[in-house]
A and B are shown apart, each in its own frame.
Chain A
């Protein structure tokens, strides 16, 4: 059975990538499961999508803990323990990351035993941080690495994107073919069936807790500041202070309240919490804010 896990952030298209791969497997005659897990159910929050494909009925359910292939759309997830991108990787599994870094760097930094492959970001996608076609890119990568045929992949892309305009479908197909040609065919090997039989669980008795422990209250204010939502960003707003007219509109309209004003009215962005929505850029009357892709800053490893 093939077990594939896609990791991305809400809005990057990893649910669709999973659907494209699942549909491709199905068209190739496999029994298929594909299911997204949204976690916080928020744009920008880590999410994952699981695909299982087997020649016979699949009796396994739930999150894939022993993946044969892991595909990561956004390298910033690597340093986020809550995203859970690395658990379950063994020397058997293949890891594919969409990044501009080298495979060696990632393998060494993260002590990965199995094969690491790189999917370079498309060069003409500076404004989107490489995410405009991420679902087709990652779906196609999965199909190629699992040895599926190109015509089946194209059929799956058309089926999954059929509500979009012909122009956008064509762009996704072109990107799929490009990715297909870049990556080696069929290097992912099917993992063993592990659900051989029912096993009695090891029950653990949990004693009842005091109400003050089981239903605790928070007595501190604004503890959310401990959550560094800055790593949600794909694009970073950067203020050109020479062009800033100090009108304060970015400070007023930032929904997160992360743009403060200095005593002389100059805005300062708290990058630890800025989610990169770019309302500041859209509302700046002096056009003094640029959007810089996060991966242009040399990554976060």
Chain B
């Protein structure tokens, strides 16, 4: 067993392969996630990118990636990844590509694609045991088009399509469990505000084969309505309050890599919610105690049922 190489912040890579100068908003949580993925995976990658905010990273003739990048329609990134993987395998077999020049295929999509219209193609890729990494940057809405709700939007969040007091009536889909039910090589949730946990999980996945699936929390100043400098603080609160569990699925078992404090000691969900304009209606003009209690109860219930 290899020893953990990321013990402290100082063990994280010093050099960032991902180039600056992207059109992503200042304070973008998704960019933070992708930056760390590039740090750990290195330059021998090909990102298969479904339509979303992050497709705007590569607008001809500019790209922040040092490896390759290909654009697909919103529902079909994992299908595109299958084609790319097959092509690489054929090239290696025909000795037109040296095995050491092989590329890691990484699907990059937002939550709109991962939780919604791309789910079928993802399911198929896992069925076929496709050798790839999937990175879903989850900003809990269709961020690129003005933040309409998606299947990843949390209950009560205001979006462009749930603007009324009370916010989104639906509930965030449990994509982790849906993915894990396919029994792929690896599934994990991560957050850019917790870079050590994230770096360890990416490293672990890098050394495996088969489908390796990531859901990365991506706080979004533009869509969640908060000051861009709060991105990391909000990501940390999501973990501390227990709203965003950091966990992984491997060899048929789910384990939590970091647990929040006990119900009595951990900060309430309010601390996370009140920092974001999309939840302002819970506090102003009147406190919505009923909805706040419901959100808190769901989080408590989740952790009560973790062995």
Q: Judge if B99 is at the interface, Cβ distance under 8 Å.
A: no
Q: Judge if A125 is at the interface, Cβ distance under 8 Å.
A: no
Pairwise interchain contact B56-A282, C-beta atoms closer than 8 A: no
Pairwise interchain contact B28-A255, C-beta atoms closer than 8 A: yes
Partner among B20, B25, B227, B230 whose Cβ is within 8 Å of the Cβ of A42: B25
Q: Given the known inter-chain contacts A226-B62, A256-B20, please indicate yes or no for A221 contacting B43, CB distance below 8 A.
A: yes
Q: Judge if B10 is at the interface, Cβ distance under 8 Å.
A: yes
Contacts of B16 in A (CB 8 A): 257
Pairwise interchain contact B35-A222, C-beta atoms closer than 8 A: no
Interface residues on B, range: 35 or more
**Which of B26, B35, B62, B192 neighbours the largest number of chain A CB atoms within 10 Å of its CB?**
B26
Q: How far is the CA of A249 from the CA of B8 in the complex (A)?
A: 11
**Is the contact region of chain B dominated by helix, strand, or loop, or is it mixed?**
loop
Pairwise interchain contact A225-B20, C-beta atoms closer than 8 A: yes
Contact stretch, chosen from B63-71, B90-98, B262-270: B63-71
Contacts of B21 in A (CB 8 A): 224-229, 273
Pairwise interchain contact A279-B231, C-beta atoms closer than 8 A: yes
Pairwise interchain contact B35-A221, C-beta atoms closer than 8 A: no
Q: Judge if A277 is at the interface, Cβ distance under 8 Å.
A: yes
Min C-beta distance of B130 to chain A, whole Å: 24
Contacts of A201 in B (CB 8 A): none
Q: Judge if A95 is at the interface, Cβ distance under 8 Å.
A: no
Q: How far is the CA of A249 from the CA of B12 in the complex (A)?
A: 11
Pairwise interchain contact A218-B60, C-beta atoms closer than 8 A: yes
Q: Judge if B61 is at the interface, Cβ distance under 8 Å.
A: yes
Q: Judge if B2 is at the interface, Cβ distance under 8 Å.
A: no
Partner among A44, A218, A253 whose Cβ is within 8 Å of the Cβ of B63: A218
Pairwise interchain contact A270-B228, C-beta atoms closer than 8 A: no
Contacts of B66 in A (CB 8 A): 221-222
Please, which residue of chain B has its CB at the minimum distance from the CB of A247?
Answer: B9
Min C-beta distance of A301 to chain B, whole Å: 23
Contacts of B27 in A (CB 8 A): 43, 255, 275, 277-279
Contacts of B35 in A (CB 8 A): 255-257
Q: Give residues 125-180 of A contacting B (CB, 8 Å).
A: 165
Q: Given the known inter-chain contacts A224-B21, A225-B20, please indicate yes or no for A281 contacting B229, CB distance below 8 A.
A: yes
Q: How far is the CA of A222 from the CA of B222 in the complex (A)?
A: 25
| Residue interface bits B1-45, CB-to-A below 8 A is 1, else 0 | 000000001101010111111111111110110010000000100
Pairwise interchain contact B61-A229, C-beta atoms closer than 8 A: no
Pairwise interchain contact B67-A221, C-beta atoms closer than 8 A: yes
Contacts of A247 in B (CB 8 A): 9
| Residue interface bits A215-243, CB-to-B below 8 A is 1, else 0 | 01010011111111100100000000000
Q: Judge if B152 is at the interface, Cβ distance under 8 Å.
A: no
Interface residues on A, range: 35 or more
Pairwise interchain contact B63-A41, C-beta atoms closer than 8 A: no
Q: How far is the CA of A21 from the CA of B192 in the complex (A)?
A: 41
Pairwise interchain contact B232-A40, C-beta atoms closer than 8 A: no
Please, which residue of chain A has its CB at the minimum distance from the CB of B66?
Answer: A221
**Which of A10, A227, A248, A255 neighbours the largest number of chain B CB atoms within 10 Å of its CB?**
A255
Pairwise interchain contact A255-B31, C-beta atoms closer than 8 A: yes
Contacts of B232 in A (CB 8 A): 253, 279, 282-283
Min C-beta distance of A230 to chain B, whole Å: 9
Q: How far is the CA of A257 from the CA of B21 in the complex (A)?
A: 10
Q: Judge if B144 is at the interface, Cβ distance under 8 Å.
A: yes
Q: Given the known inter-chain contacts A42-B23, A276-B26, please indicate yes or no for A221 contacting B65, CB distance below 8 A.
A: yes
Contacts of A248 in B (CB 8 A): 9-10
Q: Judge if A252 is at the interface, Cβ distance under 8 Å.
A: yes
Pairwise interchain contact B233-A41, C-beta atoms closer than 8 A: no
Pairwise interchain contact B31-A256, C-beta atoms closer than 8 A: yes
Min C-beta distance of B55 to chain A, whole Å: 12
Please, which residue of chain A has its CB at the minimum distance from the CB of B16?
Answer: A257
Q: Judge if A96 is at the interface, Cβ distance under 8 Å.
A: no
Q: How far is the CA of A149 from the CA of B111 in the complex (A)?
A: 48
Partner among B19, B23, B32, B227 whose Cβ is within 8 Å of the Cβ of A222: B19
Pairwise interchain contact A221-B19, C-beta atoms closer than 8 A: yes
Partner among A42, A225, A226, A278 whose Cβ is within 8 Å of the Cβ of B24: A42
Pairwise interchain contact A257-B18, C-beta atoms closer than 8 A: yes
Q: Judge if B221 is at the interface, Cβ distance under 8 Å.
A: yes
Q: Judge if B57 is at the interface, Cβ distance under 8 Å.
A: yes
Q: Judge if A182 is at the interface, Cβ distance under 8 Å.
A: no
Q: Judge if A261 is at the interface, Cβ distance under 8 Å.
A: yes
Q: Judge if A119 is at the interface, Cβ distance under 8 Å.
A: no
Given contacts A224-B21, A258-B20, A279-B231, 16 further A-B contacts (CB under 8 A): A40-B23, A216-B60, A218-B61, A218-B63, A221-B43, A222-B17, A222-B19, A222-B63, A222-B64, A222-B66, A225-B20, A253-B193, A255-B32, A255-B192, A257-B35, A261-B14
**Can you give 15 contacting A-B residue pairs, CB < 8 Å?**
A41-B144, A43-B27, A44-B26, A218-B58, A222-B63, A223-B62, A227-B21, A227-B22, A227-B23, A228-B21, A253-B32, A253-B232, A255-B31, A256-B20, A278-B227
Interface residues of A (CB under 8 A from B): 10-11, 40-45, 165, 216, 218, 221-229, 232, 247-249, 251-253, 255-258, 260-261, 270, 273, 275-279, 281-283
